[in-house]
């Protein structure tokens, strides 16, 4: 039997350290830990697929949170059943010890309790995500009513900015010099040059 672990965060700027620390504390070697930084909206995840190819009957898959298996109730239940029933592997959820299929097969009551807990927690995980989305939508709506602007802020072009841009257009200075004088990176510099041309200001 081999013990594997799977961790996931939804975005590249989110941190996996809490999940990794839990796996290491459980005693899982680094070579058996698989992680993805991608949304859980589907299972098109590179490391997750690699993990499933190695997972065998009798192996143990450790995850820290139940919603690492998917983003909604149906996905979590489907994936849980695929791993435990179709593949014959076990699952342990570290933050909810009741979700441990290594013990649920010992008695009919144990299996019943584990399945019920899984159903409830999967529903709670999905419900909480929906609540978060609703709170975010309400916050944006309130902010807009208060005239809070979202997206790229408006940019006021100073005489100095226009002068440097004009010198660049007339090829009196290089783009590198213009970017240094304006304190802009390449993408921002060409964005503003293009915008000035659209506004017939250059």
* Half-sphere exposure of residue 38: CA atoms within 13 angstroms, side-chain side: 14
| Per-residue 3-state assignment (H helix, E strand, C coil) for 56-68 | CCCCEEEECCHHH
Q: How far apart are CA 55 and CA 19, in angstroms?
A: 20
| Burial class of residue 38, CB neighbours in 10 A (0-12, 13-18, 19+) | middle
Confirm whether 10 is a catalytic residue.
yes
Q: Active site residue: 10, 39, 158, 174, which one?
A: 10
Question: Chain centroid to CA 123: how far?
Answer: 20
Active-site amino acid positions = 10
């Amino acid at each position: 039997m081999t013990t594997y672990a799977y961790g996931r965060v939804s975005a590249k700027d989110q941190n996996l350290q809490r999940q990794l620390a839990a796996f290491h504390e459980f005693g899982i070697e680094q070579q058996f830990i698989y992680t993805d930084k991608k949304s859980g909206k589907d299972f098109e995840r590179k490391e997750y697929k690699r993990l499933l190819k190695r997972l065998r009957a009798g192996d143990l898959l450790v995850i820290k949170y139940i919603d690492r298996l998917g983003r909604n109730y149906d996905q979590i239940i489907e994936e849980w059943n695929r791993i435990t029933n179709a593949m014959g592997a076990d699952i342990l959820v570290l933050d909810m010890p009741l979700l441990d299929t290594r013990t649920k097969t010992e008695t009919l009551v144990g299996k019943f309790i584990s399945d019920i807990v899984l159903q409830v927690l999967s529903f709670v995980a999905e419900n909480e995500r929906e609540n978060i989305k609703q709170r975010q939508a309400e916050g944006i709506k309130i902010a807009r009513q208060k005239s809070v602007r979202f997206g790229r802020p408006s940019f006021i072009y100073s005489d100095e900015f226009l002068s440097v841009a004009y010198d660049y257009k007339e090829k009196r200075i290089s783009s590198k010099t213009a970017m240094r004088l304006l304190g802009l990176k390449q993408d921002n510099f060409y964005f503003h040059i293009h915008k000035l041309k659209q506004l017939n200001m250059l």
